[in-house]
Amino acid sequence: MFSEEHQLADLLNQFNTTADTGQNRLVYSEQWLHNQKTLILLGQKYGAKATVDDYGNVSLEFPGQEATLPIATGSHMDTVRQGGRYDGLYGVIGGFCAIQKVYQQGSLPKKPLRLISFSEEEGSRFPAAFTGSKHYTGQQQQVAALVDETGITFAQARENAIKQLQAMPDVRRQRAPLPANFTELHIEQGPRLSQAHQSIGLVTGIVAQNRYNVTVHGQANHAGTTPMAQRQDAIATASRLMASLYDLVDKSSNSLTFTIGEIRVSPNVSNVIAESCTFTIDCREESDERLATFLSAMNKVIKQFDNVTIEQTLHVPATLLSQALRKQNAEIATQMKFPFRELFSGAGHDSQIMSTVVPTTMIFVPSKSGISHAPAEYTKMSDLLIGVALLTASLSAQANEA
């Protein structure tokens, strides 16, 4: 195992920075651009043909004996702000290592293999996520005019970065044709595998998700001179509404997650009664039906409160990934004696976009303490290598079957 470990560790080090502030590989940033360039050169060195589309998705295609649709793997190159070393990048680098191992096995696989490095999945620079895989799968997007926090538009940032990638030697400039299927290797970002001491998670599906902004309207006034009975205190109402919603969650299904992560108060001054209090709701469920049941109960609770408005900001239905590909991976994992479980993903992934056009599966490896989107994100090397080994066997099987 030494040389495999050496290669994986080396590449992860090469594509990550050592900054205390974690990884800040926002889409189209300098570090992002450097990494996509480095990946293209790496692929070309090992015989791949590189394609870069107009969103900066990189496809590296390695030859097969037959001119059929390729078997694809990969993940996204961007990170959140102050992100970890594995989210996204592990699927790109692990995918590259797995493809190399398939070719090291001897004869050329029947089908070509493709490594995809999606431009953007996190939605951390511009208020839009999955822009890479959405473009890859041909979805129309209205993102050109979105601005980042410095006022640069998506269109400006993209044009500058893509120009440099597409100007590289032997790079095809086009949207890559769709592959035969897609396997994404990724860290779990939750605690279930690490708590169960299992090295592999085979993903059955990705949760349905709705998000809302809830605003309680009050009236700003002096905290000392306004009698309690004459107040419209937005925080008084909001705190009771939030507490009622958490009570409702306690009575709901085990597969529900419910998060109020953001609160914004106006004017937010200690001696002024709040004029308004807006909070977000992030609500996820494995089942669309159970989510709808909860949302209906949630709306009933909200309607019991006066002066409240609710705005839906996101709706993503549950995604079921390929049963056939998961079954094949389960058989391989059993043969290889890797401890695994099947599980739902509570996080969104490029796979949910890819699964709308091609059979798609995901392989998870454990996240220590379930921590992700933080510099402390960590997966031990032995688990990283087991993930790559399973992906290698899976790609080899897929690329050599009839």
Residues that bind a second copy (CB under 8 A): 188-192, 207, 209, 211, 220-228, 230, 233, 235-236, 238-240, 242-243, 246, 249, 254, 256-265, 268-274, 277, 279-280, 282, 284, 345-348, 370-374
Q: Is 222 annotated as a binding residue?
A: no
Q: Is 125 annotated as a binding residue?
A: no
Is residue 45 packed enough to be buried (19+ CB in 10 Å), middle (13-18) or exposed (0-12)? exposed
Q: Is 350 annotated as a binding residue?
A: no
Helix, strand, coil distribution of the chain in percent, nearest 5: 35, 25, 40
Going by C-beta distance under 8 Å and a sequence separation of 6 or more, which residues neighbour residue 152?
A: none
Please say which residue, 33 or 277, places its beta carbon nearer to a second copy: 277
Rounded Cα distance between 66 and 45, Å, is 22
Rounded Cα distance between 228 and 53, Å, is 61
Please say which residue, 181 or 352, places its beta carbon nearer to a second copy: 352
Q: Is 122 annotated as a binding residue?
A: yes
Please say which residue, 242 or 297, places its beta carbon nearer to a second copy: 242
Please say which residue, 1 or 228, places its beta carbon nearer to a second copy: 228
Contact call for residues 388 and 4 (beta carbons, < 8 A): yes
Q: How far is the CB of 76 from a second copy (least distance, A)?
A: 16
- For residue 106, what is the DSSP state? S
Query: Phi/psi of residue 95, each to 5°?
Result: -65, -40
Going by C-beta distance under 8 Å and a sequence separation of 6 or more, which residues neighbour residue 106?
A: none
Q: How far is the CB of 170 from a second copy (least distance, A)?
A: 39
Q: How far is the CB of 312 from a second copy (least distance, A)?
A: 13
Q: Is 158 annotated as a binding residue?
A: no
Q: Is 34 annotated as a binding residue?
A: no
Q: How far is the CB of 313 from a second copy (least distance, A)?
A: 8
Please say which residue, 320 or 357, places its beta carbon nearer to a second copy: 320
Q: How far is the CB of 375 from a second copy (least distance, A)?
A: 12
Q: How far is the CB of 86 from a second copy (least distance, A)?
A: 13
Going by C-beta distance under 8 Å and a sequence separation of 6 or more, which residues neighbour residue 69?
A: 111, 112, 177, 178, 179, 180
Please say which residue, 63 or 191, places its beta carbon nearer to a second copy: 191
Contact call for residues 34 and 94 (beta carbons, < 8 A): no
**Annotated binding-site residue numbers for Zn(2+):** 76, 87, 122, 186, 373
**Annotated binding-site residue numbers for allantoate:** 211, 271, 284
